[in-house]
Amino acid sequence: MARPTWNSRDGAARDPAQPLDGIRVLELARILAGPWCGQLLADLGAEVIKIERPGVGDDTRHWGPPFVTAADGTNLGAAYFHSTNRGKRSFAIDIGTPAGQAIVRDLAAEADIMIENYKVGGLAKYGLDHATLALSNPRLITCSITGFGQTGPYAHRAGYDFIAQAMGGMMSMTGEPERQPQKAGIAVADLFTGMYSAVAVLAALNRRDRTGMGAHIDLALLDTQVAVMANQALNWMVSGKVPRRAGNGHANLTPYQAFPTLDGPLVIAAGNDGQFASLCRILGVDLAGDARFATNPARLANRTELAARLEALTGAWRRQDLFEALEQAGVPAGPINELDEVFADAQVVARGMAIAPDGFPGVASPIVIDGKRMVSPLPAPGIPEPISE
C-alpha cells in the first residue's frame, strides 16, 4: 500500500458548509474517548487519518459480536468500532520501528491536530510526543487523553471508563437506594472526555489563529467524570450532605421520576409548581393546595409520601392516555423506550438520526448548523493493510 499522505495538503477549505474542512487530524488513539473526539471532528469536516497497530488494529474491532460485514461477507470489525470511527482513513503502521516512526512524523509535520491516548510518556520513547513533534511543527495541537492526566500521583495508571465512573462519584449515586452502586449503561466518562477533547481542540485552534502557536491539551477521564457531577457536586459543596442513590428520583426536583401505569412506566418531570398543579388536576387530586406539597422545597421534604400518593393514581391509567393528557397540559413526560422503539420514534425518524453511509449502519451526530446535519458521508474504515515504508 502507498505511503499515506494528506488529501488536503494545502489546508484550503473546499466545502464552506463544513466548519473544519481543510483541518488535518492525526489520530493515534484507540477504544473510545480519543476515537470519539476524532469522529466528531470528522463529522465537522476535518480530514482524519487513524493509525492502527498492524495485525491487531484498534481493540474495539474485536469487541463483538455483533460484527459489521461487507457485501462479500468480509468481517469489517465489531459494531462497537464502527460506532466511533466514522469518516476516517486508517493505516496500519508499527510505530515501534524507525520506518513507522518516520511515516508518523511526516504526517504530524503537516497536521493541525494530533489525538493520542498512550500512557503518560508512552510516545516519547518513539520520538512522537508533543514536545518532539512541535519542534518541526510548532502549530501542532496535541490532545493527550489518559485516565488520570499528565500530572498527579495516579498519572502512571492506566485508565478505563468503568474505573473513572467508580472513582469520580457517579456510581455512588446511580442505582436503587438499597442495591449495589451501578455504572451507566454507556461509557459516559469516555464519551464526555471525547466531547471535552473536541471542545478543547477547537478552542486551541481559535487561539492558534491569533498567536500562530499550537498547544498540548491534557484531558483525563477522572477529571471529566468529576467535572460532569455538576449540580450533585455543588449540592455537596454547599450543604455538606453526600448525595445518595435515589433510583430514578432527582436530587433537586420532585415529582421527577418514573411512575407506574397499567401497561408500563412513564417518566414525568414536573419542573415547577405550575406543572405540578397541572399534574394534580389531571390525576384528580388537590395536592398542589396542600402546604406539604405546594412548593418544590416542601415536596422534597415530603417526597416519599408524595411519590406513594402519585403512584397510586398513575397506576390506574393506561400509559398512552396519561402521556397524551400530560402533553396537552404542558407537563413534560415520556415513555422509557428500548432501542428498537427509539429508532422507530417519529421524532427520531424525522430528525434523521439513523444513517447508513455507503450502506453501513450508523447514528448521526446531533450537531445541525444552518439546517445541515454535521455528519461525515464516509463509513468507518475497513481493516487496513500494514505499511512499513
Domain boundaries, the chain: 24-228+365-387, 266-335
CA–CA gap between residue 269 and residue 256 (Å, rounded): 4
pLDDT of residue 71: 85
CA–CA gap between residue 196 and residue 219 (Å, rounded): 8
- CB atoms under 10 Å from CB of 276, counted, come to 26
- Please identify every residue annotated as catalytic: 190
pLDDT of residue 13: 53
**Residue 239 backbone phi and psi in degrees, to 5:** -100, -25
Q: Which three cell numbers stand for residue 133?
A: 513533534
In contact, 67 and 78? CB cutoff 8 Å: yes
* Among 9, 66, 41, CA closest to 199: 41
Compute the C-alpha angle 310/316/317, nearest 5°: 95
pLDDT of residue 385: 85
Cell 469536516 belongs to 45
pLDDT of residue 387: 85
pLDDT of residue 74: 87
pLDDT of residue 254: 96
In contact, 101 and 123? CB cutoff 8 Å: no
- pTM above the 0.75 mark? yes
Query: What's domain 24-228+365-387's architecture?
Result: 3-Layer(aba) Sandwich (3.40)
pLDDT of residue 377: 94
Q: Which three cell numbers stand for residue 246?
A: 435515589
Query: CB-hemisphere CA count at 13 Å for 220?
Result: 21
- Residues lower than pLDDT 50 in the chain: none
Q: What is the CA radius of gyration of the chain?
A: 25
pLDDT of residue 239: 97
User: What are the Cα distances from residue 117, in Å, to 141, 199, 204, 215, 220?
Assistant: 14, 17, 18, 16, 10
- Topology classification of domain 266-335: formyl-coa transferase, domain 3 (3.30.1540)
